[in-house]
């Protein structure tokens, strides 16, 4: 992240959910995806507001029905 977006990076925490608008994805030289965000279009999503965000709602339902985050 750079420009205005670089201010958000240090405050992002594992386990939180974010909406990142206008991100450009591409594979790197190890064939892993990396994204390019130049503007500060990153929003932390509150699980309590999942009804307003259908993708977050679906993700939370999936996580609650699986052991995807269990060791």
Q: E-assigned strands of 1-71?
A: 17-20, 24-27, 33-36, 42-45
The DSSP code for 1 is -
Residue 71 lies in a domain: no
- Indicate the number of domains in the chain: 1
**Which residues are within 8 A (CB) of 28 and not within 5 positions of it... i.e. 6 or more apart?**
34
Mean pLDDT by runs of 10 across the 71 residues of the chain is 76 90 89 83 90 92 74 52
Q: How far apart are CA 71 and CA 28, in angstroms?
A: 27
Residue 49 lies in a domain: yes
- Which pTM was predicted? 0.68
**Which residues are within 8 A (CB) of 69 and not within 5 positions of it... i.e. 6 or more apart?**
63
* pLDDT of 36: 82
- Domain assignment of residue 32, given as a range: 3-65
């Amino acid at each position: 992240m750079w420009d205005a977006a670089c201010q958000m990076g240090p405050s992002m925490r594992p386990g939180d959910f974010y909406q990142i608008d206008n991100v450009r994805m591409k594979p790197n030289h190890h064939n892993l995806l990396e994204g390019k965000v130049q503007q500060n279009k990153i929003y932390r999503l509150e699980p309590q507001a999942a009804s307003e965000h259908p993708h977050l709602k679906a993700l939370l339902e999936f996580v609650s029905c699986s052991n995807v985050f269990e060791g």
